[in-house]
A and B are shown apart, each in its own frame.
Chain A
């Protein structure tokens, strides 16, 4: 049984069809990348999965529960976590409080009290290497640190599906490799399925994802294992441009 089933989902904004009749599945514990050029509908797809937007048509089943009409906080309780492209930590709260908030209200929220959540937070702070900044307000951190806090906060929610919006944008290759290793480690240890949205960092896609869903103008172009997707002529044409030899020919 898949973790998430997306069936014929469509989302329109006025006359614009941002997501057009898309179907796919996410399996337990897999890593998948949603890629596509700017405007392909990736962000809308993400917002549909975690309930920031509700679908106009179609259905979404998360572990046997029809979540199509669930608001985002109820999807979070079921185990859908998310990070934002531009990190959005709660600026006045400390790093520790930020991460604890994830634990308190996420999928494990109903069984976790404030003290337990704060203790849990320490574990994740160590994991992301921010122990020296534990009691500082998150608003004062560097962008990369904020990004790490956001990932830790999402992990503290104990999600079974983690949606990562451009987690590696703006990073240098060394940091990307580190982040890929970090995420793979999380996936293996905690059994979380990770769906990463990536616009143009193929290094991250190739390193992290087992499977790639390529979107183009709101529709699904291909949904294949990573290597095949990246060498698929359709993908290359709409997304990566024409192969170099065609220019030289």
Chain B
């Protein structure tokens, strides 16, 4: 039993990091928005890493999963607000987000996961744009007019609760998604799924010869990562903002941010996405204060330098440094 628990000890630094972050946010309400933004990046990186970091496949259409998740929550509140479900709407919204993102990931995965490496990346690059035009063109859920559902939420749960839901609980849910993503990552790492993913990331043909049904494991990682993205969209975007426009949520910019966060922190590591998210989120925030308007111009070369000099990411380097020490059990 002890040994069994010890396998999962690397979750401790993760929980510590999220606990400290949440604590700072609660202690300094003025900084809550910054903390919420950092938590969003942590969750985004952690969810994205579960697929990209563990399989080595880069999904450029990833933000589409956040987008359909956002719509899952929106649809629940917009259409069911007068059914007397109260707070149950939120749970239905989260469930719909999971269902929508699973559906989309199966559809995308069935085609794109047959392709390898760069071909997969190219095949997925159009997914978010395609889905955006599909929603707009087919006028699904009000098409390009989007859905504004703050009124619906107020009617369903009352003014006070609606306020707390979008200003506090939405962000706390984001922390929840981040923790869930970290736990799933570690559980996968410690089980056959993780070993299969490592093998196929390193050499897909050799993995098959070893008896690994690579398609099955790729799909498992893809769906898990997609559902986490869906839940993240439902809480960080739909519940927090109480509106959704297709051009906002199917925006490739967020996929690029996810890639940067994972690479900065260390692809395939557990702690990496958190470190990457904190570095990225904090520097973006402070650069915007120090040099407003120029932050992206400055940020781009910094990221290029870091990624060229440290391809394994921050945690990748740290892991090498602590090999053979007691810390090895906690930092992976």
Contact = CB atoms under 8 A, between A and B. Distances in A.
**Binding between chains A and B:** yes
A76 B202 contact: no
B211 A109 contact: yes
A88 B210 contact: no
Interface stretch (B96-104, B192-200, B272-280): B192-200
Nearest to B316: A92
Contact of B192 (A105, A107, A157): A105
Given A73-B212, A73-B214, A114-B190, A84 B195 contact: no
B56 to A, nearest CB: 10
Identify which of B191, B196, B198, B214 gathers the most chain A CB atoms within 10 Å of its CB: B198
Contacts of B198: 90, 92-93, 97, 101
Given A114-B191, A114-B192, A77 B205 contact: no
B241 interface: no
Interface in A79-102: 82, 84, 88-93, 97, 100-102
B210 A91 contact: no
B208 A73 contact: yes
Interface residues of A, number: 28
B199 A90 contact: yes
Contact of A73 (B201, B202, B213): B213
A151 interface: no
A123 to B, nearest CB: 18
A93 B199 contact: yes
A52 B205 contact: yes
A106 interface: yes
A76 B210 CA distance: 6
A73 B211 contact: yes
A101 B209 contact: no
Contacts of A129: none
Identify which of B207, B208, B211, B212 gathers the most chain A CB atoms within 10 Å of its CB: B211
A71 B208 contact: yes
Interface of B: 190-192, 195-196, 198-199, 201-203, 205-214, 268
- Sorted from nearest, which 6 A-B pairs have the closest CB atoms? A76-B211, A105-B211, A90-B202, A88-B206, A72-B208, A106-B211
